[in-house]
Amino acid sequence: MSRPTPRTPSPPPSSLDPAVAGRLKRNADGLVAAVAQQYDTGEVLMLGWMDDEALHRTLTTGRCTYWSRSRGEYWVKGDTSGHFQWVKSVALDCDGDTVLVKVDQVGAACHTGDRTCFDSGQLALDG
């Protein structure tokens, strides 16, 4: 009988503070949602995914590090695009399943080149 292959590769052991790691409620892939928000305007920029190591790197380097589900690797926002996210603060929500990263965004946050990933327009409300 063959074993199923995991959805994401096992990340290296993390140096994330055990007290923080203990508060995280990860999805089946070991990830938590990470919302990036412009620190001074409150503008919601994007949603990415972090595991323990990505969060540790974000907290220790001052630059947002995410886990790319499509590429199966870590990426630091701005390394290839030049559109950096400089971390101002990090907070964990009450359930432990979402991280709010307040950043100073330099350039576009979205891979499409838009300022935010939510620039494609509002959805109409029924009623």
Give the residue ranges of the annotated binding site.
93-95, 97, 110, 117
**Under a CB-based contact definition with an 8 Å cutoff, are residues 78 and 84 in contact?**
yes
The bridge status of strand 65-68 relative to strand 44-50 is: unpaired
Quick check: 51 and 57 in contact, CB under 8 A?
A: no
Pairwise CA distance, residues 114 & 120, whole Å: 9
DSSP label at residue 106:
-
Encoded amino acid at 77, one letter: K
Binding residues for Mg(2+): 93, 95, 97
Residue 64 near residue 101, CB atoms below 8 Å:
yes
- The annotated binding site for Zn(2+) is made up of 94, 110, 117
